[in-house]
Amino acid sequence: MKGLLGQPVPVVAANAGKKQGGIILRVANAANVSVTDPTAQQNREGYRVFVEQRNIVVSGPTDAAVLYGTFALLRQIQTRQPLTNLALTSTPKIQYRLLNHWDNPNGTVERGYAGSSIWKWYELPELLDPRYEDYARANASIGINGVVINNVNASARYLTPEYLRKVAALAGVFRAYGIRVYLSVFWAAPKTVGGLPTSDPLDPRVRRWWTDKTNEIYQTIPDFGGFLVKANSEGEPGPQDYGRNHAEGANMLAEALGQHDGIVMWRAFVYKANSNGDRFKEAYEEFKPLDGKFASKALVQVKNGPIDFQSREPFHPLFGAMPSTPLVLEVQLTQEYLGFATHLVYLAPLIKECLEADTYAKGKGSTVAKVVDGSLDNHKISGIAGVANIGSDRNWTGHPMGQANWYSFGRLAWDYTLSAETIAQEWTRMTLTTEPQAVNTIADVLVKSRDIYVRYTTPLGLHHIMGQSIHFGPEPWLSKSARPDWTAIYYHKADSIGLGFNRTATGSNALALYKPEVQKEWGNPQTCPPDYLLWFHHVPWKQTMSTGRTLWNEICYRYYTGVDSVTWMQQRWEQVKPSIDPVLHADITARLQIQHKEAIWWRDACVLYFQSFSRQRIPAPFTQPDRSLEAVKQIVDIYQMR
């Protein structure tokens, strides 16, 4: 308040007598929060902010609720909204709103582009970096109430007493901010930590070990949140090593949690190496048959799309397909396939696109959001997870605009009905400037930025054509890898006829995983939205599209205008210069220069490579790149050298 108002605000005790013109924080069971389902856990986090006897009252049933209400009030002030007749009421739509950190014990962050991990394991528990509290406060301000602090490719260290003391020290900092700690677990821990000969989830010794270990964790961290599990995926051990299925694994952990207030989130991100298969279908085929077999404390965590955090994916076919199982939506805030920390890509539109997608599971309007918040299938438990883009960089996220992705994830997790535009405006006002024209300009750039990124990298539904070890750069020519489904040609299937992955009935038939209404729209290249076209169809180069252009001309059109749009972003950013801190403005100006350079790099790599199949000219008014495919490949190779 002092920072916002420029003068100190005295803090007085509750019994300081009748005063006016102040702010009252009131934790009260009868918080008068309007609720649709009074039994839901998340109503304990709902707040009300209102005016009473010339005081502003922030009220809620729990400390956390009042904390969230306080941040709502601060947001109201910071975004310069009126305070007269203040009446804010809000309850989170999703119960578990988690950040997932892919942070390793050695301080690196898998897919981290903002320095090293903020957790300093060699210093914990004795030394608490002041940033731990800054981090907790930032999360609380946007409604995040849990953090999984370690990588899903998990070290067993965290399950040892030595490391649990460290984790407990973090939990001690987070507790006052309504944030609970969760751990990713290494499936083979009963062997590596416990000294058992097996990790078979049906073995009584293993079950006992997990129960004892869980009890030990709760003794150390009384408000521990639970477990996140990546098992039998990309080389990680899991219950299938013993002939057990994912539900048997998850249920064993749920049993270990027993009466403790904790949950298991079991990731559905699994796929086996199969050069004749379609990775698109594999999670569905493994998990769909298990619907109804998971214990009540077990949730299945599903990425927004069926492949892996591409710049645009159709919604994951498991959404709507497992009505008996609460599904956690996992989205990625760290921009692994969206330009790392040098490209400005605002992710709220991507997250919204998934949440608003209609699964038709129970007829029209069965959106992914309704699956995730539990309302479609009457689940009492619901969750959403964002893979954190946070690191040790002074500005937390590398790209200053990356903060908007952290922010918007929290806001959407609380209330997914907020528009991407509204959140962009809010964040801009709270972070960069309150000058109205500049706010509009910046929010406009933010909202359009994800579509622009898609255009210059993977238009029309192209996917997974990035560099094998530089996920921010192009490598559509990648044809060999340790696994066929880690190449690019597996996905784009370019040939002399055309481009795209036929997932209709004449192809892999992945489309059949969706409800008939979805199949109908996407199954016909004429009605399939161009954004998803090459996800589902192998389209001839010369086929005319709804835009009136042939596929080849449309691809070129999108790559070239995508690059032009980066220029547009640069121009818009230059316009707001007078309203922005000069150092920050210069930083983002330089990052936009890099983005422009790399957009051209993507464009040239892709049009030159695909041209070797289409054997057509670049359509006017665009001109052939002034370098060869070989020259572009050399640059990509440099970034993949040891």
What are the catalytic residues?
Answer: 234, 308, 336
- Angle 447-453-456 (CA atoms, 0-180°, nearest 5)? 140
When the beta carbons of 345 and 528 are compared against a second copy, the nearer one is: 345
Residue 162 interacts with a second copy (CB under 8 A): yes or no: yes
The DSSP bridge pattern shows strands 47-52 and 55-60 to be antiparallel
Shortest Å distance, C-beta 626 to a second copy: 16
Residue 541 interacts with a second copy (CB under 8 A): yes or no: no
Taking phi over 0 as left and psi of -120 to 50 as alpha, with beta for the rest, 137 belongs to: alpha
Shortest Å distance, C-beta 594 to a second copy: 5
Residue 642 interacts with a second copy (CB under 8 A): yes or no: yes
Tokens linked to 379: 């689940």
Neighbour tally for 249: CB within 10 Å: 26
Residue 626 interacts with a second copy (CB under 8 A): yes or no: no
Number of residues that make up the chain:
642
Neighbour tally for 528: CB within 10 Å: 23
When the beta carbons of 430 and 470 are compared against a second copy, the nearer one is: 470
Q: Which of 5, 87, 482, 641 binds a second copy (CB under 8 A)?
A: 641
Q: Enter the DSSP assignment of 202.
A: T
Residue 581 interacts with a second copy (CB under 8 A): yes or no: no
Q: Which of 32, 34, 593, 624 binds a second copy (CB under 8 A)?
A: 593
CB-neighbour burial class of residue 292 (10 A; exposed 0-12, middle 13-18, buried 19+): exposed
Q: How far apart are CA 623 and CA 642, in angstroms?
A: 35
Residue 312 interacts with a second copy (CB under 8 A): yes or no: no
Q: Which of residues 340-369 bind a second copy (CB under 8 A)?
A: 340-342
Residue 631 interacts with a second copy (CB under 8 A): yes or no: no
Residue of 88, 101, 86, 92 lying closest to 55 (CA atoms): 86
- Please give the C-alpha separations between residue 534 and each of 399, 460, 545, 562, in angstroms, as whole numbers: 31, 6, 12, 18
- Please give the C-alpha separations between residue 137 and each of 99, 209, 226, 466, 506, in angstroms, as whole numbers: 14, 35, 21, 36, 53
- Which residue stretch of 141-149, 155-163, 173-181, 315-323 sits at the interface with a second copy (rule: CB under 8 A)? 155-163
Q: Enter the DSSP assignment of 92.
A: -
Buried b (16+ CB within 10 A) or exposed e, 339-378: bbbbbbbbbbbbbbbbbebbbbbeeeebbbbbbbbbebbe
Q: How far apart are CA 528 and CA 56, in angstroms?
A: 51
Tokens linked to 222: 């009384």
Residue 337 interacts with a second copy (CB under 8 A): yes or no: no
When the beta carbons of 74 and 193 are compared against a second copy, the nearer one is: 193
Q: How many residues bind a second copy (CB under 8 A)?
A: 41
Shortest Å distance, C-beta 597 to a second copy: 7
Q: Which of 337, 472, 536, 560 binds a second copy (CB under 8 A)?
A: 472
Residue 401 interacts with a second copy (CB under 8 A): yes or no: no
Phi/psi of residue 323, each to 5°?
A: -65, -20
Q: How far apart are CA 295 and CA 310, in angstroms?
A: 31
Residue 495 interacts with a second copy (CB under 8 A): yes or no: no
Shortest Å distance, C-beta 312 to a second copy: 23
- Which residue stretch of 61-69, 154-162, 490-498, 605-613 sits at the interface with a second copy (rule: CB under 8 A)? 154-162
Beta bridge partners of 24: 57
Q: Which of 542, 590, 623, 631 binds a second copy (CB under 8 A)?
A: 590
Residue 468 interacts with a second copy (CB under 8 A): yes or no: no
Residue 102 interacts with a second copy (CB under 8 A): yes or no: no
E strand or H helix at 60, and its extent?
A: strand 55-60
Q: How far apart are CA 191 and CA 532, in angstroms?
A: 45
Residue of 96, 92, 87 lying closest to 37 (CA atoms): 92
Shortest Å distance, C-beta 103 to a second copy: 12
Shortest Å distance, C-beta 128 to a second copy: 8
Residues 113-132, one symbol each (x = binds a second copy by CB under 8 A, - = not), give: x-xx-----xx--xxx-x--
Residue 295 interacts with a second copy (CB under 8 A): yes or no: no
When the beta carbons of 116 and 198 are compared against a second copy, the nearer one is: 116
Residue of 26, 41, 32, 325 lying closest to 180 (CA atoms): 41
Residue 172 interacts with a second copy (CB under 8 A): yes or no: no
Q: Which of residues 190-219 bind a second copy (CB under 8 A)?
A: 192-193
Q: Which of 27, 88, 584, 635 binds a second copy (CB under 8 A)?
A: 635
Q: Which of residues 426-455 bind a second copy (CB under 8 A)?
A: none
When the beta carbons of 38 and 235 are compared against a second copy, the nearer one is: 235
Tokens linked to 227: 């477990």
Shortest Å distance, C-beta 161 to a second copy: 9
E strand or H helix at 345, and its extent?
A: none
> Are 262 and 226 within 8 A, CB to CB?
yes
Residue 577 interacts with a second copy (CB under 8 A): yes or no: no
Q: Which of 1, 16, 83, 638 binds a second copy (CB under 8 A)?
A: 638
Residue 584 interacts with a second copy (CB under 8 A): yes or no: no
Q: Which of 13, 482, 583, 620 binds a second copy (CB under 8 A)?
A: 583
Q: Which of 364, 394, 480, 615 binds a second copy (CB under 8 A)?
A: 394
Tokens linked to 109: 């962050």
- Which residue stretch of 177-185, 387-395, 437-445, 492-500 sits at the interface with a second copy (rule: CB under 8 A)? 387-395
Residue 74 interacts with a second copy (CB under 8 A): yes or no: no
User: Which residues would be at the binding site for a second copy (CB under 8 A)?
Assistant: 105, 107-108, 113, 115-116, 122-123, 126-128, 130, 155-157, 160, 162-163, 186, 192-193, 340-342, 391-394, 472, 583, 587, 590-591, 593-594, 597, 635, 638-639, 641-642
